[in-house]
Amino acid sequence: MVNKEDEKFPRSDTVQGPDIDIEDALGAAWQHHYTSVLRALGVEDPEHGLNQKDIEARRQEYGPNQLEGGDEISIWKIMLHQIANAMTLVLILAMGVSLGIRSWIEGGVLAGVVAINIIVGFFQELSAEKTMNALRDLASPTARVIRNGDGETISANEVVPGDIIELTTGDTVPADCRLIESMNFETDEALLTGESLPVAKDHTQVYSAGEDVGVGDRLNMAFTSSTVTKGRATGIVVGTGMNTEIGKIADALRGAAKAQKIRDVKRNAYGKALPHRYVQAGALTVWDKVNGFLGTNKGTPLQRRLSQLAVGLFFVAVLFAIIVFLSNNWTDNEVIIYAVATGVSMIPASLTAVLTITMAMGSKAMVKRNVIVRKLDSLEALGSINDICSDKTGTLTQGKMVVRKAWVPASGTYNVSETNEPFNPTLGEVSVNNVEPRDAEVGSDSTDGEVVARSGKSDKVKGNERFEDFVNVASLCNLATVFKDKESHAWTAHGDPTECAIQTFVTRFAWGRLKLTKGADADKEVTEKDRTAAKWSQIAEYPFDSSVKRMAVTYVNNQTRESFAMMKGAVERVLESCTSAQTDEGKIDFTEDFEKRVLENMEALASQGLRVLALAHRKLSKAESDLAEDLERSDVEANMTFLGLVGLYDPPRPETAGAVRKCKEAGITVRMLTGDHPGTAKAIALDAGIVPRNTTKYSKTELDSMVMTAAQFDKLSEAEIDALPQLPLVIARCAPQTKVRMIEALHRRGKFCAMTGDGVNDSPSLKMSDVGIAMGMNGSDVAKDASDIVLTDDNFASIGNAIEEGRRMADNISKFVCHLLAQNVAQASVLLIGLAFKDETGLSVFPLSPVEILYIIMVTSGLPAMGLGMEKASLDVMKRKPRSNKWSILTPEMLIDLTVYGFWMAALCLATFTLVEFGWGNGELGTSCNADYSESCDLVFRARASCFSVLTWFSLLLAWEVVDTRRSFFNMHNDGRWYSQWFKDTYGKNKFLFFCVVGGFFSVFPILYIPGLNDIVFLHTGISWEWGIIFVCTLLFVGGIEVYKLCKRVYFRRKTVDRSKLLDEEMADAEGDAA
């Protein structure tokens, strides 16, 4: 029982604990009496705490109270990450060759390309890391400590071992501490242990040294990042920073990340390995390291594919360079630089920069949609996700308990309509009917009946004595408060989540605790007049105890002077104290039949996913009232009258069902991994649409595997898991290792999965998943550091937004990769076939100069490619299945497209050069036309200018053509006016791309006609009649692509119809589930 005078701390010189050394105090405080810990840490009086000298010494010895490396940003690591990719390394090699032969122009251009790629990637990744650190610092916790005999509030980072800290409801524990005093104290340790319910603490507990006590069972300890949900306590700090339980997990994760992966040595049946096996293992390890450095075996499917492509193109480039040399007998520097240009023509040089900028722009767009991208590549990875493993509390649900139903035998079953604000009693309404929960139809959640409360007002309590007894207990046997904040005008609740829900329920009837004990409504300020008019005054409190699983209070009615004992708790524990019950027939004996009726109603509520509590009371006799403050708990809790049941749950977010349905339409399976009870988990999964309501099309085996407990799942071997027709959609009572096993099982099935988490215990699964998603509001720092993206609103719907953005980016990346690689095919083909043009000395005359090639690569390719990265999402982006991980963006269709486009461009470019040189020209190829201008080279320079112009225009027009790989450029969004639609699709949809293309068209003219720039740098000259050939070839280019697209539309028409039918069926199933 709580008395008015709290017991003071016993001084350390009067306690019974034995002396221990400081290592024991810091390493195993739960095994020792708190007074032993006080003495070991040099705290003579907990009411005085540490002095300034001790504080400084311990800060020097133990450092700040923060996790190592959390806020550090390694500039060199970020820089190395930009350089160590195959695409950049190839460009650096080409730059080195160019500068080595003193080809300053070409080398300078390549140096600029490399610098742009590195600088853009560096600053974008640095910006992402800084954003994450800013997010981490948004809610830096504080701590109330006792130092030098005074209480003060300091930053949690300043706490040192030996500090005395004070904890009250709502506080975040700043460091691991051994409790030295506690009163009705409970903490939420879900971030550390995954336990969804608060843990009741007891500072008097001491565990033996030989006893194996898990972190979650150390009831005399409070741990970093846990939240105080009830009561108050005082503790002595025994662990800070990396020496906390969270720090140990973070250290283990960091160590695992740094561990070197070495190939195992193959051994024979006797466990021995032959010498060559060691050589084999060593060679494979080196091979893994090389691939890791080049990025060919790490990252997302797209990154791995592009890195592999870059390595492959490097060897092709070397081969092409050798061909150039062989065809010209290794003669001079012009041949060398042409060989370099030919090699570079096969490398999409602007791809790295465009890819980084596109992802950076996507990450900035995601900030507006409540997603912080920690790693740019994760956003692209989201586009390939086909499985999401989500936590329940706070992600799929609101993370706040609400009363859904209440069964009061004396007056009926009360149903609360759903609202978006769990603590706002003025929203929604309460209705009552006479159907008991056990008699309701299975799956029914009817709220039909008389409305008895609306907008926080009701006239159904006064005059209804039996229901008044129920709401009196619900309101007064409750430590939570619900009120309207004066400044924000938002409804707020303080206290245990369960009690906050019950307090909100009674406040709907204007019968809240503030009203009954202080005389004021919850949305008004308490006045002295209100206090004198208060109807009830508390006498004593008997706190909730985990051993009895109930709490009780005694109150006196100030108007009648009658005293009452009131009880709330677990149904079984309340029933064992009841001898009577309040029903519509009046007060009756609590018989076995009535107990059966209560338990059947409890089971009915629990089957709906509700947490069920029972309420009871009794009127104290005159003798008991006189001694109410001194009554023993056992006397108060005897001979109770049962009043009813209340069912609570953590409701799904309003947008969750729609977000899950959206994921299903997109071919993504949503799974829920939660620590909750199986019944609760299944009910939430049904509400959210994760588990289908229509089960007729599923076999019994499939239905049995849909919902499992962690114990059932963990008992299965890998072979048994792989043999399941489908992996569970819901796993209840889920442990951290279960989440890891689920990810492993998904990977064995070739799935690309995302995992959400907020607690320290989620970190291993976040790291193992393909995309780790942490919670920004309620997530731990360790979970955020292990994640790839962070949700700032902890909302599952934001994951759908991220996936949509990821798919948009993947589509756009596919477009500009096709655009760039098609040009590479065209450029390389022109340069290689152009080797056949020989001058009088037998040297090849190059149809394109090296600077022309580099200009096309960077300007007329890079900028339009960036514009393609800005394309808006297609209308069906979330109505198609994820991309196959087998191909990523380099699908067979895309490879055929870029090959066709590239060869068509090359054919027309070579035709242009040939017509100018040999058709209307005299075929003179001059001498040394690859080095500088002379009169004999005039025709070659004019043919080269024509070839450069058409290739530039082809590259620009191709950017518009690949916006849609099948629809005509003139009719991408059909409105019936083909002659104007192209302008709407280009200018109206993407202005950046429009101006890049138009600007690129006109950029050709100054390059052709400015003296010095044309003949010295670009090695071409101005043209006149050649424009007729250029315009005709441009029309042929567009016409050829349109014919190719028409053939594709005919070929894919049948497949498109089939896919539409399949999509309609999937949407019908999703709508059926929602209904």
- pLDDT tens-digit readout, 306-363: 667 767 777 776 777 677 666 665 555 666 666 666 666 666 766 766 777 777 777 7
* CA 395 – CA 183 distance, rounded (Å): 32
Does a structural domain hold residue 754?
A: yes
| 166/207 same-domain check | yes
Choice between 392 and 760, residue whose per-residue pLDDT is larger: 392
| 624/501 same-domain check | yes
Q: What is the pLDDT of residue 260?
A: 45
Long-range CB contacts for residues 606-609, cutoff 8 Å, separation at least 24: 606/647, 606/677, 606/679, 607/679, 607/683, 608/404, 608/405, 608/437, 608/445, 608/647, 608/649, 608/679, 608/683, 609/649, 609/679, 609/680, 609/681, 609/682, 609/683, 609/684, 609/687
* CA 90 – CA 97 distance, rounded (Å): 11
Residue 433 belongs to domain with CATH number: 3.40.1110.10
Question: What is 536-578 written as a DSSP string?
Answer: EEEEEEEEEETTTTEEEEEEEETTT--EEEEEEEEHHHHHTTE
The region, left, alpha or beta by phi > 0 then psi within -120 to 50, assigned to residue 60 is alpha
Does a structural domain hold residue 958?
A: yes
Choice between 9 and 722, residue whose per-residue pLDDT is larger: 722
| 630/662 same-domain check | no
Q: What is the pLDDT of residue 107?
A: 74
391 classed as catalytic: yes
| 260/353 same-domain check | no
Residue 391 belongs to domain with CATH number: 3.40.50.1000
Domain boundary among 229, 264, 299: 264
Q: How many domains does the chain have?
A: 4
State the pLDDT confidence band at 83, using cuts at 50, 70 and 90: confident
Pairing relation of β-strands 578-583 and 640-649? parallel
Indicate if the pLDDT at residue 792 is higher than 60: yes
| 1011/946 same-domain check | yes
The pair of three-digit structure tokens given for residue 241, joined into one six-digit string: 């920073």
pTM score:
0.69
Domain boundary among 787, 802, 817: 802
| 135/175 same-domain check | yes
- Residue 453 pairs in a beta bridge with 430
Indicate if the pLDDT at residue 134 is higher than 60: no
State the pLDDT confidence band at 12, using cuts at 50, 70 and 90: very low
Which residue in 176, 387, 391, 758 is the catalytic one?
A: 391
Indicate if the pLDDT at residue 908 is higher than 80: yes
The pair of three-digit structure tokens given for residue 688, joined into one six-digit string: 């959210």
State the pLDDT confidence band at 6, using cuts at 50, 70 and 90: very low
Does a structural domain hold residue 743?
A: yes
* CA 778 – CA 241 distance, rounded (Å): 19
- Percentage of the chain beyond pLDDT 70 is 79
Cβ distance 817 to 309 under 8 Å? no
Indicate if the pLDDT at residue 14 is higher than 70: no
Q: What is the pLDDT of residue 176?
A: 94
The pair of three-digit structure tokens given for residue 136, joined into one six-digit string: 């981490």
Residues 264-281, mean pLDDT to the nearest whole number: 63
For residue range 933-985, list pLDDT tens digits in order. Answer: 888 889 999 999 999 999 999 999 999 999 888 888 887 665 555 555 666 66
State the pLDDT confidence band at 1056, using cuts at 50, 70 and 90: low
For residue range 491-517, list pLDDT tens digits in order. Answer: 888 888 899 999 999 999 989 888 898
Domain boundary among 608, 626, 649: 649
Choice between 553 and 273, residue whose per-residue pLDDT is larger: 553
E strands present in 620-712 = 640-649, 669-673, 707-709
| 994/1023 same-domain check | yes
| 585/671 same-domain check | no
State the pLDDT confidence band at 73, using cuts at 50, 70 and 90: low
Residue 39 belongs to domain with CATH number: 2.70.150.10
Does a structural domain hold residue 429?
A: yes
Does a structural domain hold residue 527?
A: no
Residue 813 belongs to domain with CATH number: 1.20.1110.10
Q: What is the pLDDT of residue 462?
A: 73
Q: What is the pLDDT of residue 638?
A: 93
**Domain range spanning residue 186?**
1-264
Does a structural domain hold residue 1055?
A: no
Question: What is 85-101 written as a DSSP string?
Answer: SHHHHHHHHHHHHHHHT
Quote the DSSP letter at residue 655: T
* 534 Cα distance to chain centroid: 49
Does a structural domain hold residue 751?
A: yes
For residue range 807-822, list pLDDT tens digits in order. Answer: 888 888 889 889 988 9
The pair of three-digit structure tokens given for residue 769, joined into one six-digit string: 């998943």
Indicate if the pLDDT at residue 446 is higher than 60: no
What integer best gives the mean pLDDT of the chain? Answer: 81
Say which residues have a Cβ less than 8 Å from residue 483's Cβ, sequence separation at least 6.
491, 492, 493, 514, 522, 523
| 641/666 same-domain check | no
* CA 861 – CA 820 distance, rounded (Å): 6
Quote the DSSP letter at residue 397: B
| 723/737 same-domain check | yes
Q: Residue 462's CB: how many other CB atoms inside 10 A?
A: 12
| 627/713 same-domain check | no
Tally of residues, the chain: 1075
Does a structural domain hold residue 529?
A: no
Say which residues have a Cβ less than 8 Å from residue 387's Cβ, sequence separation at least 6.
668, 669, 671, 746, 751, 752, 753, 754
Choice between 422 and 70, residue whose per-residue pLDDT is larger: 422
E strands present in 658-791 = 669-673, 707-709, 730-732, 753-757, 771-775, 789-791
Q: What is the pLDDT of residue 282?
A: 73
Q: Which amino acid is at 1061?
A: K
| 861/914 same-domain check | yes
Q: Which amino acid is at 100?
A: G
Indicate if the pLDDT at residue 7 is higher than 50: no
If DSSP codes are grouped into helix, strand and coil, which group holds residue 409? Answer: coil
